[in-house]
Structure 1
Amino acid sequence: MDPHALVVKQEPISPTKGSYINLKVASNLNELDPFFRVKRDDPLQQLFIKWSHRANVDYHTIRFLYDGKRVDRNRTPNQMGMEDGDCIDAMTEQIGGHTMI
């Protein structure tokens, strides 16, 4: 090998860029297949709309939670640090929070 030759180290391409992830949407509203295959770099709103359509519920009446925190629909699975097989909870919106005495 020539000691003056330029050695180029080839870095592996990140598997997360443009790849897909399988996410589970858990809810007591339906018994449909809860798994969805989505792109890691696409906003989660697309998943939420697909799930709402499949569950036959109005998208605007459902709140989606990940690790107990409400999910911003404009964020991506990569931004949320989601991994393959993670679960998102779908809850109906509830108003109130106090008791009558």
Structure 2
Amino acid sequence: MSDNERTSEHNNATTSGGAENEDEFIKLRVMGQASNEVHFKVKKSTTMAKLKKTYADRMGVNSASLRFLFDGKRIENTDTPKSLEMDQDDVIEVYTEQVGGTC
């Protein structure tokens, strides 16, 4: 694993009932603007708010200053890999939120 590939250890949200198996987890790649890539292994039920916060903390920025996209659509905090129908090794794109402009 290279220096810019990391696995998140604290994205282990709990699910109700039942035994866990490897099918409940998904590996995702988060790609920043500078082509830096961070790998996460999360439960399919983990909210994207948790992934966003972990990524932002690692990058040393506020998660509110970032915009996360999957398949060209903005990811909401309440979304999960399951609700977004994500597959193994899918890529989430991250951009710095730009505020302002002229009218």
Normalized against structure 1, the TM-score is what? 0.72
What is the percent sequence identity of the aligned residues? Answer: 31
Runs (4+) of structure 1 moved beyond 2 Å? 28-31, 95-99
Unaligned runs of 5+ in 2: 1-20
Q: 2: distance between equivalents of 1:98 and 1:39? A: 42
Tell me which amino acid in the other structure corresponds to 2:26.
I
- Matched residue SS, 2:82: helix
Question: 2:27 matched to which residue of 1?
Answer: 22
Q: 2: distance between equivalents of 1:87 and 1:97? A: 29
Q: 2: distance between equivalents of 1:50 and 1:15? A: 22
Kindly report the root-mean-square deviation, in angstroms, between the aligned alpha carbons of the 2 structures: 2.2
- Give the superposition deviation at 1:71: 0.5
Which protein has the larger Cα radius of gyration, Structure 1 or Structure 2? 1
Matched, 1:59 2:59: no
Map 1:1-101 onto structure 2 (within 5 A).
16=23, 19-29=24-34, 31=36, 34-96=38-100
Aligned length: 83
Unaligned runs of 5+ in 1: 1-13
